[in-house]
Structure 1
Amino acid sequence: MPLPPPSSRTVAVLTQAQALMQRGQAAAAMKLCEQAVEGENGDPLLLLEMINLYLHLGRHDDAYQAGLKVLEIDPEEPSAHFNMGLAGMRTNRYEAALGHFQTVLKHDPQNVRALTNLGGVYFGLGFIKESLAQYREALRLDESVPGIWQNYISILNYDEEAPLSFVMDQHRVVGEKLQAMAGPRPAAYANDPSPNRRLRIGYLSGDFIMHPASHYVEPVLRLHDKNVIDLYAYSLITWSDPVTESFRSCVPNWRDVGMLGDDQLFDLIQADKIDILIDLSGHTARNRILTVARKPAPVMVNWIGYLNTLGIPGIDYSLLDPHLLSPAADAGFVDRPWALPETAYCYTPLVTYRRPAPSPVFRKGHITFGCFNNPAKLSQAAFAAWAEILHSLPDSHLIFKYKTFDSPMVQNRVLRAMAAHGIGPDRLSFQGYSPLGPFLDGFADIDIALDTFPYTGVTTTMHTLWVGTPMVTLTGDTPMQRFGRSALLSIGRPDWIAASPKDYVAIALRLAEEVKADPGLRQKVQRRMHSSSMMRHEIFVRNLETAYRAMWQAWCTRQGAA
């Protein structure tokens, strides 16, 4: 049945709650609504408002539960379904989220926001073709929404059939569209163009929480030399966790900007007179690409969040390393690649130390492979290689672990793909979500990690090596296809890097023999990781600061030439 009209009490509470939200007092608005719901015995309109507030505060499970209460009254209520779809994605209820967005589209087939989020659900479940189809349909209906373009090109990186030239060209095309949407850039900057003065460095991110990007941000925020740098952070999230608070303690000038509009954020960065702004989100979630594209600082840098060109003319540099970019991909970059020495990603685990577990082959009697990567990175080419490996070792097993591998849709996709190559379900197993600590402990169940390709693992690769698990990777062209290569070169194991799927299979089989012959291999891998450039935090941050200084001096030189 349709929702009843609001009572006068509900109207008054909603008005007051919205006023509190406008003043940035989301927690107070939430408390007001919770108290009113108790008094009104679960008024559905208050519950709808609470769903929005819960999402804003990062209380995603509470948002989903509030939505269920609304659907008890009106099972088709579109606002509840839409927000439950959002909450579902954030609480690993991807198949449920699929149904919620499909319900919205059943009533409104041209709902662009629902189409866009449905694309996000398909991506979360690893269905890349279906995901891209939703974004293309959304763009057919409305080309004016920046986030749709961003999602489209971001997910295009996962399409194993998309040629490199097409992927890079699409980034350039979309970057130009976003630049046009953003509005004019400053004609000049008030920043003092002295090449050796103290610099104001700003980091802009929607991920200052427990998030993969935080493994690389933490050493930088903690170790920046405050004697030569004035450090600023612009946090786009509207909630916090212990990681957020840890970061906040490291940054003298912390700005919570999640409630600011694009123009307001631009004005704040300009008012802070930031010299170099590092965008850590790129085209990923919770970004502010329109602010970034307007170039609020003289020097703009893309780093960590997006391992490809942003395609936007106003971005000066992408921070990479000597191993992350092929000449073919380099030619397609709009932002100039800037190679840091040795590595572009310095890792910290954000959990307590894990001693390498013994290789399970010594207790199981057979090799166990593992893929702990996002199902969106699973490709038909990888399935074929993995099947050949399993056929070559008839008693071997393959474990898939990630937050969505407990989804029947994801499992069935893998089972069908492997069955097409003659591998039965008895050779495969699936594990779903685990918090980071137990996730890392899960590597004790596998002997060898099989990296995905063409899109390789990134933070998962770091985790893999940190706990001492040997792995095989296949190199490609873009940074997204070469992260495993960079990591294995950093630990001194280039022999685990494949140049072709055939080579990948051969390396995996040789590695199986190495695991069986060397019970101490995992300890060696971990020692190599701990002593590698990827974990020499102090050296990395000094190199990063040297790069920033060189970027700044280049800008100052251009001002002098003008």
Structure 2
Amino acid sequence: MQPPTPHPHLMFQQAALAHDQGRTWEAERLYQAVLAADARHSGALLRLGMLRLDQRRLADAEPLFRRAVRADKRSAEAHQLLGFTLTGLGQLDEAIRAYEKTIVLRPGLAEAHNNLGYALQLLGRSSEAMARYRKAIALRPDYHEAHNNLGNAHHIQGQSAKAIPHYQKAIEINPGYAEACWNLGTALRATGQFDDAAKAYAGAIAIRPDYAEAYNSLGNTLRALGRAEEAIAHYGKAIAIKPDDLEPHINLGDTLLGLNREDAAISSYDRALAIKPESADILSRRGDALVRLRRDADAIANFERALAIDPAHDFAFDGLARTALASCDWTRTVALRDEVAARVAAGRFVDAFAFLSYSNDPEQQLVCARRYIRQHVPERPPPLWRGGNWRNERIRIAYVACGFHDHPTAYLTAELIERHDRAGFEVIGISLGPDDQSDIRARLKTAFDRFYDVREMSDRDVAALIGELKIDIAIDRSGYTVNARPAIFAARPAPIQVNYVGFPGSLGADFYDYVIGDATVLPIEQQPFFSENIVHLPDCYLPNDSRRPDAAHMPTREEAGLPCHGFIFCCFNSSYKITPEIFDIWMRLLRQVSGSVLWLYADRSSAEVNLRQAAAAHGIDPARLVFARRMAQGDHLARHRLADLFLDTLPYNAHTTAADALWAGLPVVTCPGKSFAGRVASSLLRGIGMPELVTSDLGSYERLALRLALEPALLDDTRKRLQQNRLSQPLFDSDRYRRNLEAAYVTMWERWQRGDKPAGFAVTPHM
């Protein structure tokens, strides 16, 4: 005889006890038995549904709660749990209706108001969500989840400062609330309070030592603070806890890449790709690391694979455009030109520096620069200088640069720094770039009154340093080049901020007051294409060093890899400046000048291969292209004397390379473009009194180069006049240049002291 079946009410009590004691399997069996006896038993339906929620089986819980609602339409708990489950399933409109029914039945149920707010927030109805969170808090002031959610609603709306006190209140109520600590850190970071953000993330980790997301966020914050090694350690902890979480792998790769550990960065990106193989974003990052290693073919393959996955991916496209340019891959650059211009016109991201080689249009360059700075500084930090003035004993200027090492601009400006009038100026160096232990870095460190190596400092801390030093004029010597950090200037640490030398174009940002040029590189009619006010120096805007080092040994042609006889055309510009149109001219010159060779700078092996192939395609023996390797500055200047004629590029001219050639007595033939970057060699030639070497168009450029190559007397006369002019004309008169530049600084300073707004002006020549 079978024992009698227990009454459903008794079985439900047994099931609930088993459930509360964690005996899940037994509880489930008993709930099912209750429902077999009474399919409308609302208690069993609710408790079995809750058990399914604990098991994260939302799809199985939903029909149970629906049955509970049908069994007892007056059950606020059933409506509430149905709403909760529907929210988790993404059925938000129906979830909202369930919560609204809950509130009708139990208006004082704080949880229902909070949960309704969350569903509204997921639908983007933030104002309504906030009202519900506030109602929940009014009903239950110690409701820490509602305080946290109200903070989230503010943060999502971009009101991170308003979110902070709500997170703090949630933590005050529940000190063990790890998620609120994490949210607080995120809001503090969004408002630029990085040190406090790091403490908040650390607090979340102290509560939950396995909180992978907090380790990752702490890594991001430490990285922003310039504490890269600590950031790497925290990314490693996040990965150890959640090996399949994509974000810390990517962040680790980015941090390693920022430390120039390219191989390690690629390994991190590879681990990320193992998790998400079809990620255009990761492939683009991996391509950037490969470019740093000059593995250009591999980089291009990564960028193109990324674009195959996502044709609209801006950074993959930008990487492809930059790498093709640097490697003289003209099949790609010619095909990309129109799309590069179209993307810029549409407000898409393209590297502003690379764009100078794609476009000769200053208006397009301004559009590109504006988009570039929006990408790199999406939110302007609060300004450190808020108006007003002060008077230092001397005008205090700071040159902020990533090139205070073995870098072209270091050689250009070293003597200027040494010659600055210390009676009127205090001159400070802020170094963003590497310490390569080079002679030029040592010379610069000695030249400055004070020198700060700030590589390991965050942008905000560098800006704060400039503010604490009470710098009158902060000079950005890097613009948008490698290792540049425009976010420092975005914080407005100084009353006067200047774009000078590092970037030959507008920076497109309203936190730069002036750009220094001259009438040749930057005609005043180009003011509409510059966000900065144009300042004209009277001769050439580019500084020069009359104390360039001499070589210990003058090389022979054979030592330089050049033929013993024949005309030597030369161009030591970086490969990204060489265009197919210019190269066509050079190949015609080689064809017409018997025995001549073209001497180029060995910038990238990929460019060498592509240039030799291009020469062969023109019917020119690739051996007639000779590549010069990098060497010490004095030796490099000395070998210029082996060449006969320097051929310039367009749309991006020779800058430092043209100045080096002229110093060495090597004539330069140029053709000015429409924009700043394409007019520098013209300015240099006018500054040295050789305007006849500036041609009006590429046809004239080719004819003049050919004439100089075929008429030895003309070339000899040109070289003699160049040698005579080197020390008699303004270009290499460093003290004259220094006086003119200081006059510009004084005018800027005087306008600020009077309370006048920045405005363009021309410096009266100082002889």
Distance (whole Å) between structure 1 residues aligned to residue 533 and residue 251 of structure 2: 45
Q: Work out whether residues 199 and 275 of structure 1, in 8 Å CA contact, stay in contact via their aligned partners in 2.
A: yes
Distance (whole Å) between structure 1 residues aligned to residue 747 and residue 502 of structure 2: 22
Amino acid of the structure 1 residue aligned with 2:740: N
Q: 1:59–1:443: structure 2 CA closer, same or farther, 3 Å change rule?
A: farther
Q: 1:101–1:227: structure 2 CA closer, same or farther, 3 Å change rule?
A: same
Shift of 1:261: 3.5
Query: Is 1:326 aligned to 2:523, yes or no?
Result: yes
Q: 1:435–1:30: structure 2 CA closer, same or farther, 3 Å change rule?
A: farther
Which residue, 188, 195, 198 being the options, matches 2:386?
188
Secondary structure at the aligned position of 2:531 is classed as coil
Once the two structures are superposed, the pairs formed by residues 131-530 of structure 1 within 5 Å of their partners are 148-149=349-350, 151=351, 153-159=352-358, 164=361, 166-168=363-365, 170-171=367-368, 174=371, 177=374, 181-183=379-381, 185=383, 188-192=386-390, 198-237=394-433, 239-242=435-438, 243-326=440-523, 328-348=525-545, 352-354=549-551, 364-404=564-604, 407=607, 410-411=610-611, 414-415=614-615, 419=618, 423-425=619-621, 428-431=624-627, 433-437=629-633, 439-515=636-712, 522=719, 525-526=722-723, 528-530=725-727
Q: 1:18–1:382: structure 2 CA closer, same or farther, 3 Å change rule?
A: closer
Distance (whole Å) between structure 2 residues aligned to residue 50 and residue 89 of structure 1: 18
Q: 1:345–1:505: structure 2 CA closer, same or farther, 3 Å change rule?
A: same
Q: Gapped runs of 5+ residues in structure 2?
A: 1-211, 234-248, 759-767
Once structures 1 and 2 are overlaid, which stretch shifts more, 21-30 or 326-335?
Answer: 21-30
Shift of 1:286: 1.8
Distance (whole Å) between structure 2 residues aligned to residue 516 and residue 357 of structure 1: 25
Shift of 1:175: 7.5
Secondary structure at the aligned position of 2:466 is classed as helix
Could you say which residue in structure 2 is the equivalent of 1:123? 325
Q: Work out whether residues 367 and 512 of structure 1, in 8 Å CA contact, stay in contact via their aligned partners in 2.
A: yes
Q: TM-score with structure 2 length normalisation?
A: 0.57
Q: 1:381–1:249: structure 2 CA closer, same or farther, 3 Å change rule?
A: same
Amino acid of the structure 1 residue aligned with 2:738: V
Distance (whole Å) between structure 2 residues aligned to residue 485 and residue 234 of structure 1: 31
Distance (whole Å) between structure 2 residues aligned to residue 415 and residue 433 of structure 1: 20
Task: Give CA deviations for 1:65-116 in whole Å, capped at 9, x if unaligned.
Answer: 9899999x99x89999877754543444433443455567778887765554
Once structures 1 and 2 are overlaid, which stretch shifts more, 505-514 or 133-142?
Answer: 133-142
Secondary structure at the aligned position of 1:474 is classed as coil
Q: 1:452–1:22: structure 2 CA closer, same or farther, 3 Å change rule?
A: closer
Amino acid of the structure 2 residue aligned with 1:525: L
Q: Work out whether residues 156 and 167 of structure 1, in 8 Å CA contact, stay in contact via their aligned partners in 2.
A: no
Shift of 1:219: 1.8
Task: Give CA deviations for 1:238-257 in whole Å, capped at 9, x if unaligned.
Answer: 55432434323333333333
Could you say which structure has the greater relative contact order, defined with CA pairs below 8 angstroms and 6 or more residues apart? Answer: 1
Task: Give CA deviations for 1:303-352 in whole Å, capped at 9, x if unaligned.
Answer: 11111122223322111123222355344222122111312122238863
Distance (whole Å) between structure 2 residues aligned to residue 270 and residue 456 of structure 1: 36
Task: Give CA deviations for 1:3-42 in whole Å, capped at 9, x if unaligned.
Answer: xxxxxxxx9xx999999989867789999xxxxxxxxxxx
Q: TM-score with structure 1 length normalisation?
A: 0.75
Shift of 1:389: 3.0
Q: Work out whether residues 325 and 477 of structure 1, in 8 Å CA contact, stay in contact via their aligned partners in 2.
A: no
Distance (whole Å) between structure 2 residues aligned to residue 560 and residue 278 of structure 1: 18
Amino acid of the structure 1 residue aligned with 2:743: T
Q: Work out whether residues 399 and 429 of structure 2, in 8 Å CA contact, stay in contact via their aligned partners in 1.
A: yes
Q: Work out whether residues 372 and 460 of structure 1, in 8 Å CA contact, stay in contact via their aligned partners in 2.
A: yes
Amino acid of the structure 2 residue aligned with 1:121: T
Secondary structure at the aligned position of 1:158 is classed as helix
Instruction: Kindly name which structure, 1 or 2, has the bigger radius of gyration based on alpha carbons.
Output: 2
Could you say which residue in structure 1 is the equivalent of 2:53? none
Q: 1:406–1:443: structure 2 CA closer, same or farther, 3 Å change rule?
A: farther
Shift of 1:235: 2.0
Distance (whole Å) between structure 2 residues aligned to residue 190 and residue 282 of structure 1: 26
Q: 1:509–1:199: structure 2 CA closer, same or farther, 3 Å change rule?
A: same
Greater per-residue helix proportion: 2
Distance (whole Å) between structure 2 residues aligned to residue 142 and residue 500 of structure 1: 31
Q: 1:112–1:507: structure 2 CA closer, same or farther, 3 Å change rule?
A: closer
Q: 1:365–1:206: structure 2 CA closer, same or farther, 3 Å change rule?
A: closer
Q: Work out whether residues 593 and 710 of structure 2, in 8 Å CA contact, stay in contact via their aligned partners in 1.
A: no
Distance (whole Å) between structure 2 residues aligned to residue 21 and residue 174 of structure 1: 24
Q: 1:102–1:485: structure 2 CA closer, same or farther, 3 Å change rule?
A: same
Distance (whole Å) between structure 2 residues aligned to residue 356 and residue 515 of structure 1: 23
Which residue, 533, 538, 553 being the options, matches 2:735?
538
Task: Give CA deviations for 1:494-514 in whole Å, capped at 9, x if unaligned.
Answer: 111101122112211232245
Once structures 1 and 2 are overlaid, which stretch shifts more, 307-316 or 119-128?
Answer: 119-128
Q: 1:139–1:217: structure 2 CA closer, same or farther, 3 Å change rule?
A: same
Q: 1:120–1:270: structure 2 CA closer, same or farther, 3 Å change rule?
A: same
Shift of 1:463: 1.8
Q: Work out whether residues 380 and 491 of structure 2, in 8 Å CA contact, stay in contact via their aligned partners in 1.
A: yes
Shift of 1:184: 5.6
Distance (whole Å) between structure 1 residues aligned to residue 682 and residue 426 of structure 2: 34
Count of residues in correspondence between the two structures: 527
Shift of 1:200: 1.6
Q: 1:169–1:77: structure 2 CA closer, same or farther, 3 Å change rule?
A: closer
Distance (whole Å) between structure 2 residues aligned to residue 347 and residue 98 of structure 1: 37
Amino acid of the structure 2 residue aligned with 1:424: I
Query: Is 1:98 aligned to 2:300, yes or no?
Result: yes
Q: 1:332–1:491: structure 2 CA closer, same or farther, 3 Å change rule?
A: same
Shift of 1:298: 1.3
RMSD over equivalenced CA pairs, Å: 4.8
Taking only the aligned residue pairs, the percentage that are identical comes to 23
Shift of 1:288: 2.2
Q: Work out whether residues 575 and 607 of structure 2, in 8 Å CA contact, stay in contact via their aligned partners in 1.
A: no
Task: Give CA deviations for 1:106-149 in whole Å, capped at 9, x if unaligned.
Answer: 78887765554444322322454567789789999996xxxx45
Q: 1:255–1:166: structure 2 CA closer, same or farther, 3 Å change rule?
A: same
